[in-house]
Structure 1
């Protein structure tokens, strides 16, 4: 009964006694008992004493009424905050209010680089629940404020999709579509380009390389030559898709275009954020492309540079680079070292950061090991970590 609230204790102690019967014994209304049991109301000391005596609680209900548990207070605080939020959402928003939302979305974009997916997704859902009523046509916003709020919603939708994609959730597709629709309503081509570039990753990780290339082209066309993040994201992803298709010439050309797009970005956009692109990411993506092509020397140069540039907080990308290093070791014939490196990478990664993307890449390595080497102890250990067939006795 630790941390039990008054509402929980009252429900438990009432047992099989009906709310109506308890109300008669306590000389109050049935609806009042219902409100007490749901936490919508808190009892007076006098009523708590009556209920305590009727239910033979030995002073326990009086104690809870005199010192309400934290959960009671938090429940009442949540109800109060919701009411205030609904009141504030009923009027037009100021420029300062929009700026706060724009800052919130930028903060979430930076958080994608170091936070695990589940807690981040919860925060995104909470913020979208607050933002949604502000987008209602009934709101009396100025046209400028409404457009900016719509862009915020489009970017937040993209972050929702990206976070769901990393978690391996198919719902990501619906959020890409929502983000595109919102960016289209706002007529914001850089945001629409960014969403298409990020969505290309969905196609890539689903194995549709031609689809990834097509969405990348769409992102680059929408940018219309503007120096924005969409093309900088799209070109290296296309390089990785071309590499998976074993098209070396197209891979090299896409990587050259990626470098050009990165060079043209404003310094503020060459940052560690879902809304930015940096040299560390280009080195990671370039290394991944060369890894797929079996160009292990060129891949290693990119891997080493990426790990030099990435801060220790960039757990996901650093782990993916290290898994690519393991693939290169396997390509060069050192299967045992490859498996050992992959196991060490997964072991060092906190469990909450072992996302679907990490497992996807590690399984790629584990399942492509030649059959003649599947029984190596190091490979078996990797299979056991990934709960793959072949890891048992």
Structure 2
């Protein structure tokens, strides 16, 4: 059918097959197939061939992909919008324009606390593309420095989002963010980047590297009340605790308390660019969980859950998983598995990130072989086996 787009051809050939079936046969993501059907993404040659074979299309889908197509109305609209962005950027950036970009970044910082990662990533990348257009033009040094800070923060948010999705490309975005912060010669942005990247190493299991970057974040701050230092100190405590360094962890937690007290009240908030008491209580609870001091951990966890809003799904779930791990450390495997299962079942499906699932799997992996047949452990493993959709192409 000559008038069909690639997506329409794919939908027709799929027939009664579910999107999940097609995705499994072609070995790609379900959300990716859905985006192709709606012509929201352009398939790679390898994916086109895989889909053609999966549907037994005998080259029809390949032919559909090769057909010259006129831009859709939405594609034309996007082309015009980007052209206007380019024209406006070439005329110089006003103070109002810079402030608008800073507000955009601040909004994303707050959104990291409640928006699903895959949903957030698409918007972040779209705005980063616009910012890149702006940066391609010449600007006065002061303006370029401010825009470079915006670029550093956006890069860090992309990296943080990819980290939660379990995508290794987050490493490249940390590097980009560090370069942008260095170009701006902004110590607050540099400290924030080092602190956030230390979290990436922590969740990747590199405790020594996490400690080094966390200490670097505090050193770069040079005693100033920057968010980076407030973020880094508790992460350092968690990494020390994971290495069973109790005294070092306790000392780092004390510095975290001091750093939070020194923060400007406007920065003691629920945002990727802030640090709040709720986060400190969560991180302190995680520290004591690592050190197997359940009583102290529970006190911090309960306080954290009181402070977090119901919309902050990721941290609340991680707190409950720490709670479950405390139960496991105290020998109550059944209660630990049941608590973790309850937390995962209560979590909205779109928030079942790689980060959450890996933390829950850590709990199941710590279960002694003699208790693997407990019904509560089996139930937890069944929940973990449920598929989690992703909008990021592997």
Q: Shorter-chain TM-score: which interval?
A: 0.7 to 0.9
Whole-angstrom CA distance in 2 between matches of 1:130 and 1:118? 19
- Contact 2:105 2:150 (C-alpha < 8 Å) held by counterparts: yes
- Contact 1:8 1:37 (C-alpha < 8 Å) held by counterparts: no
**TM-score, normalised with respect to structure 2:** 0.80
- Contact 1:7 1:38 (C-alpha < 8 Å) held by counterparts: no
Q: CA deviation at 1:164?
A: 0.8
Count of residue pairs the alignment pairs up = 328
1:326-375: per-residue Cα shift (whole Å, max 9, x none)?
A: 11111122111110110110011011111111111101111101111111
**2:380 is equivalent to residue 382 of structure 1:** yes
1:305-337: per-residue Cα shift (whole Å, max 9, x none)?
A: 000000001000000001111111111221111
Unaligned runs of 5+ in 2: 10-66, 387-394
Residue aligning to 2:35:
none
Whole-angstrom CA distance in 1 between matches of 2:143 and 2:189? 17
Unaligned runs of 5+ in 1: 13-35, 41-71, 389-393
Q: CA deviation at 1:161?
A: 0.8
SS at match of 1:38: coil
Alpha-carbon distance change, 366 to 237 in structure 1, aligned in 2, over 3 angstroms: same
Q: CA deviation at 1:380?
A: 1.0
2:70 aligned residue (36, 39, 43)? 39
Whole-angstrom CA distance in 1 between matches of 2:253 and 2:176? 30
Residue aligning to 1:254:
252
Q: CA deviation at 1:6?
A: 6.6
Residue aligning to 1:372:
370
1:365-392: per-residue Cα shift (whole Å, max 9, x none)?
A: 111011111110110111122239xxxx
Residue aligning to 1:120:
120
Q: CA deviation at 1:301?
A: 0.2
1:171 aligned residue (160, 169, 172)? 169
- CA RMSD in angstroms comes to 2.0
Residue aligning to 2:81:
81
Residue aligning to 2:43:
none
Whole-angstrom CA distance in 2 between matches of 1:267 and 1:121? 28
1:319 aligned residue (317, 320, 336)? 317
Whole-angstrom CA distance in 2 between matches of 1:122 and 1:186? 26
Residue aligning to 1:193:
191
**2:108 is equivalent to residue 108 of structure 1:** yes
Residue aligning to 1:130:
130
**2:91 is equivalent to residue 91 of structure 1:** yes
Moved over 3 A (4+): 5-9
Whole-angstrom CA distance in 2 between matches of 1:162 and 1:8? 35
Mapping of residues 1-393 of structure 1, within 5 Å? 8=5, 38-40=69-71, 72-136=72-136, 139-387=137-385
- Contact 1:165 1:172 (C-alpha < 8 Å) held by counterparts: yes
Per chain length, whose mean CA-contact separation is higher, i.e. which structure has more relative contact order (CA < 8 Å, sep 6+)?
2
Bigger Rg over Cα? 1
